[in-house]
Structure 1
Amino acid sequence: MTQLITEVEAVVREVGARLAGQQGTEPTAARTRDEAFAAFRELDQPATELLRERLGPLRPQAGWLDDELDSALPADGEWWSCDATDGAVQYLLGLPHWAVTATLLREGEAVLAVVHAPRLDACYTAVRGAGARLNGCQIRPSERELNAAVVATSHPPTITEDPAALRRVGATTSAVIGAGVLAVRNLGPTALQVAQVGSGHLDAFWECGLDAPNLLPGALIAAEAGAKVTDHAGEPWRPSTSTGFLAAPMSQHEALVRVLSAAI
């Protein structure tokens, strides 16, 4: 996998550089949801096509998942799950918090992941069983106590379709803030925020609802860096898990599980 991760990183960096070169500093002029989606498709489709064109020959036997919003992932074989603009909202607003992601799945689990944020000069990579890196340097989670922690969260794009998960978003956010953490933030792209748990730039990340394609690349990076990745009850997280997601360093994980479990 050493050669493959190098090649995948090069592809992701190429796509990221192209998108960064196209991004303006001013917010999009879109005034409606439809206009915003049209602007998103205009930038995302060519970038996605380039990812597919470049990654396909690297793993000819691997399939391609066309919809990164679909949480129902294949359980058999190899598949690419990619997002050319994770954090498209920020991209369209002229903000730097967006990333290009590429994840290779094998038998339903991530075995290789790249999360690259061009405007932040941050490229995370991980191969299952081989650790995780940021810009080529090995990473590890923070060792801060919970009362000094900056904890991040987000929500799946389809959260409004799951009323129970939507209620848990409010309940868990109130609970985590009430637990005395230093701050709770949503810094945009899900995969990047989870990866940042692995490098200690964020202390922990939690989410409610199904969001496997967005969580998988960061989850592999965080876990390979040494963070603990589970559901809200502390059980191992899987792409089909509907009982929430939590990535946290060992020093904070148990306390956050208690907080999240009590909230739901």
Structure 2
Amino acid sequence: MQNEINIPIVLDAVKKIGDIFLKDYKQDPIPQSMEELLKQLEKIDNLCLTSLKQVLSPEFPNIPWLLGDEFDTDSQRDYASQEEYWLCDAMDGAIQYIQHIPGWTINLALIRNGKPLFSVIYDPLSNEMFWAKDGEGAFMNDKPMNVSNKKDLAVMLAVFEYGHQDKSNNHLNEKIGSTVTKLLDNFGIVRNYGPHGLQLAYIGSGRIDLFIQEDLDTYNWIAGLLIAKEAGAEILTTDGKSWKWGSESLLVAGKSITEKYLLIKSKK
């Protein structure tokens, strides 16, 4: 196990890969069939993972790599057996990239003993690098971040997300709909933005006040969770319990805001 992390090298590698994708942004035609869509998604995954491994493996030769497949629900219920590994979400928001719209990032997390030790989210379009190391704070382009301290729900921005698992026989769509209704009834601004990790990083920077999701999406969350936590956010399930790997819902905000939401949820 490699105890020290050369953070500047990791950040530089992620930025270089993100900037390669930025150069090629909007160059491929928007896919018009499932075959074309899957081909472009595979191209993105392969380029991202291969490029990151090529740059970082010489620096961290003993750390294996895992590509986080957000469509593989079962694999997201528990962390991998290795003591330490890189978890690469490749491009979070790849659909936006393919559709020629903003909202895509390069995400990478280092998992140690089943917990994120270090993570980075790079937004090439904004040239913003969000990163955190466990116990050492969260940063955006080297400036420390803190969560929102708003008190009035009327000026808060709440976001909701959903994953890719089958929702045809588990009532998840109804649960998501009920949650969105609560948000609309109580928060001044409600949005669904797209890149899960970036939204969680925005919680850490105070740009978003509350994030909520009613299904399992560990790979999309994990890099952003550490950043939000290190910036002062609570990481909970939607019923107010402490989030752990495999939890099938997520609620992230500053403590006073999660308390307000859970009070709203408790009222029938």
Structure 1 length as normaliser, TM-score? Answer: 0.91
Pairwise CA distance, 1:147: 2.1
Deviation readout 1:28-57 (Å, 9 max, x if unpaired) = 431223321212222331122111222223
Q: Which among 130, 154, 159 is matched to residue 161 of structure 2?
A: 154
Partners of 1:5 and 1:127 within 8 A in 2 = no
Partners of 2:67 and 2:89 within 8 A in 1 = no
Q: Distance in 2 between matches of 1:87 and 1:32?
A: 19
Deviation readout 1:132-190 (Å, 9 max, x if unpaired) = 00011000011112221101121112253773333321111111111x21111111110
Q: Which among 192, 195, 200 is matched to residue 186 of structure 1?
A: 192
Q: Distance in 1 between matches of 2:215 and 2:46?
A: 26
Which amino acid letter does the alignment assign opposite residue 156 of structure 1? G
Change (3 A) 1:2 1:124: farther
Question: Is 1:31 matched with 2:32?
Answer: yes
Question: Is 1:119 matched with 2:118?
Answer: no
Pairwise CA distance, 1:2: 7.3
Change (3 A) 1:121 1:255: same
Structure 2 length as normaliser, TM-score? Answer: 0.90
Larger helix percent? 1
Pairwise CA distance, 1:104: 0.3
- SS of residue matched to 1:113: strand
Pairwise CA distance, 1:84: 2.3
Partners of 2:148 and 2:254 within 8 A in 1 = yes
- How many aligned residue pairs are there? 260
Pairing of 1:169-248 with structure 2 (within 5 A):
169-178=176-185, 180-242=186-248, 244-248=249-253
Q: Is there any run of 5+ residues in structure 1 with no aligned partner, and where? A: none
Q: Distance in 1 between matches of 2:250 and 2:181?
A: 16
Partners of 1:159 and 1:209 within 8 A in 2 = no
> Share of identical aligned residues, percent?
27
Q: Distance in 1 between matches of 2:125 and 2:4?
A: 26
RMSD of aligned residue pairs (Cα, Å): 2.0
Q: Is there any run of 5+ residues in structure 2 with no aligned partner, and where? A: none
Question: Is 1:89 matched with 2:99?
Answer: no
Q: Distance in 1 between matches of 2:4 and 2:128?
A: 19
Aligned to 2:16: 14
Q: Which among 136, 139, 142 is matched to residue 136 of structure 1?
A: 142
Structure 1 outlier segments of 4+, above 4 Å: 260-263
Which amino acid letter does the alignment assign opposite residue 59 of structure 2? L
Aligned to 2:260: 255
- In terms of mean alpha carbon deviation, does 35-44 or 100-109 score higher? 35-44
